Structure 1
C-alpha cells in the first residue's frame, strides 16, 4: 500500500517554484497514481504563473498555461497527503499558520539534499532556468524515493 495519495508543493505565491515543481513532477513516471498539485501561502487572487516560468517550462516541452494560483487550505492536510515546501521559510510558515499541518517537509531535505531552491523572482530568464534545473534534479530523486516506497509496501 502506498504511503501518500496526494502531493502538494508549497511556495509563497503559487506562481513560480511550486507550480514549476508540479509541472516537472507531472512529467515523471510513478509506479502508482499520485495526485500532484501546488499551493501558495499568500494568494490574494487567482493568477497565472510568472511568464518567465512558462517560458522555461515551454523550453522543456511542458506547459503551465492552465495553472491558476491557489492558497493552501486547512483541508489540504491529511495523513495521505505529502506537503513539500520549496524553502525553509515557507515550511516554517506552514507550521505557524495551519493548526493541523502534518506530513510537511522541505523538498530538498526529503530527498536528502542540502541544496537551497532560491526564488528566482525578479531575476533573469537564466535564473529561472537554473531554478528549473535544480528542481528537476530534486524531483528526479523524489520520484526514485516514492517509487522505492511503493515497491517496499
Structure 2
C-alpha cells in the first residue's frame, strides 16, 4: 500500500459527509504522519459544517465546528494525495474535471465495502448516525 502524505475526502459541497469522514480519521491513530482534509465539488462560498453532522459528531466526542468549506482544485491533486469520494458519480466527475488525478477511489471501494455513502438530505439524522457507526468501526 502506498504511503500518502495527504488524504482528502471529497463530497458534493464539503458540508456533511466529507467533514464527518475527516473528523473521524483525524481521531484515529495513524500509522504515519499525514494531512487529513476535505473538499467539495461545488463550493460557491465558505460555509460551516451541517448542524446535524456537527450534532452527531459531538455525540461521539468529535467536532468539526471550525470547518469551512473548500473547493477541490487542481492544486489538491498530486501523487502524494489520496482522494476518497462518497459516490461513484463523484469519482466520475473528478475524472472528467481532472483526468490526471492519480489516486482516486470511493470510500466504499477503499474500505472494501459495497455501495455509495448516501447524501444526508432532509431529515436523515438516523442515516447520519448509521454512517458514523459504519465509518468509526
1:126 is matched with which residue? 126
Paired residues in the alignment total 137
Which structure dedicates a bigger proportion of its chain to helix? Answer: 1
For 1:9, what is the secondary structure of its paired residue? strand
The whole-number CA distance in structure 2 between the counterparts of 1:28 and 1:17 is 17
Farther off after superposition, 110-119 or 35-44: 110-119
Residue 45 of structure 2 is aligned to residue 45 of structure 1? yes
Runs (4+) of structure 1 exceeding 2 A deviation are 134-137
Q: Name structure 1 gaps, 5 residues minimum.
A: 138-153
Deviations 1:92-114 (A, max 9, x none): 11111124322011111112111
TM-score (structure 2 length as normaliser): 0.94
Farther off after superposition, 117-126 or 37-46: 117-126
The alpha carbon displacement at 1:91 in A equals 0.8
**Which residues in structure 2 correspond to 1:104-123 (within 5 Å)?**
104-123=104-123
The whole-number CA distance in structure 1 between the counterparts of 2:103 and 2:94 is 11
TM-score (structure 1 length as normaliser): 0.84
